[in-house]
Amino acid sequence: MKIIELYTKEETRNLKMGLAVIAAVMAIFLAVVLSRSEIAPKEGGRYYQLYARFNRTDGLQVGDIVRLSGIDVGRVTDAVLDDDFKAILKMEVKEEVKLPDDSSAAIVSFGIMGKKYIEIEPGGSEDLLKSGDEFAYTQDAMVLEELIERIIGIGKAKRQNKKENNKDE
């Protein structure tokens, strides 16, 4: 008795390709979900709330990490606009991390195209930030396009100065 093939070779190849695409999409989805869960605070930890006001937060999102000296110490928990259209970020910081009240918060990224996070630079004051306090000093996110424009502008200015210096000689 001969077994009848249910699918042609082309249909079998298309089915395998479809399954491979579905597996790849599932793997990417799983990687994204797992990477987001790594920044959630550990259960049982205690945190206090701090606020920071920025002109722009390009690329920073609720859930992104807060770091101090390269160590994860918290995460961004909320983002709202104030009456002057500035972003106010609410973050939770581990309770054992005591920050001087003249500390600063900057939005930086992991590499040129990397994910954004908040880096805290501790100040030198003896007074500490308490829950509900706001950072007095902040630095906005650097937008890659603006950085490239600045570099190009500096290069053009140097080239123009060089041309003018060569004409004067």
Mean of pLDDT values over 125-143: 88
Which pLDDT score, from 0 to 100, does residue 2 have? Answer: 46
- Does residue 157 sit within a domain? no
pLDDT band at 168 (very low <50, low <70, confident <90, very high): low
pLDDT band at 35 (very low <50, low <70, confident <90, very high): low
Same domain, 90 and 122: yes
Same domain, 51 and 33: no
In the sheet with 137-139, reading across from the earlier edge strand, the strands are: 47-54, 87-94, 71-81, 65-68, 116-121, 104-109, 137-139
Same domain, 65 and 133: yes
Which pLDDT score, from 0 to 100, does residue 102 have? Answer: 93
- Does residue 153 sit within a domain? no
Find, among 119, 117, 96, the residue nearest to 45 by Cα.
96
Same domain, 16 and 33: yes
Average pLDDT in the chain: 83
Q: How many whole angstroms separate alpha carbon 43 and alpha carbon 45?
A: 6
Q: How many whole angstroms separate alpha carbon 87 and alpha carbon 52?
A: 8
Report how many domains make up the chain: 2
- Does residue 130 sit within a domain? yes
Which pLDDT score, from 0 to 100, does residue 36 have? Answer: 57
Same domain, 76 and 124: yes
Q: How many whole angstroms separate alpha carbon 33 and alpha carbon 31?
A: 6
Same domain, 105 and 65: yes
- Does residue 67 sit within a domain? yes
Q: How many whole angstroms separate alpha carbon 100 and alpha carbon 129?
A: 6
Q: Confirm if 76 and 88 have CB atoms less than 8 A apart.
A: no
Which pTM does this prediction carry?
0.61
- Does residue 124 sit within a domain? yes
Q: Confirm if 81 and 164 have CB atoms less than 8 A apart.
A: no
- Does residue 1 sit within a domain? no
Same domain, 33 and 12: yes
Position with higher pLDDT, 58 vs 46: 46
Per-residue pLDDT of 59-101, as tens digits, reads 889 999 999 998 999 999 999 999 999 999 999 999 999 999 9
Of the chain, the end-to-end C-alpha distance in Å amounts to 98
Same domain, 141 and 59: yes
Mean of pLDDT values over 117-124: 92
- Does residue 162 sit within a domain? no
Q: Which helix (H) or strand (E) holds 70?
A: none
Place of tokens 């950072």: 135
Which pLDDT score, from 0 to 100, does residue 34 have? Answer: 66
Q: Confirm if 111 and 138 have CB atoms less than 8 A apart.
A: no
- Does residue 115 sit within a domain? yes
Same domain, 76 and 131: yes
Same domain, 141 and 60: yes
Same domain, 12 and 86: no
Type of residue found at 119: E
Query: What domain range is 100 assigned to?
Result: 47-145
Same domain, 22 and 51: no
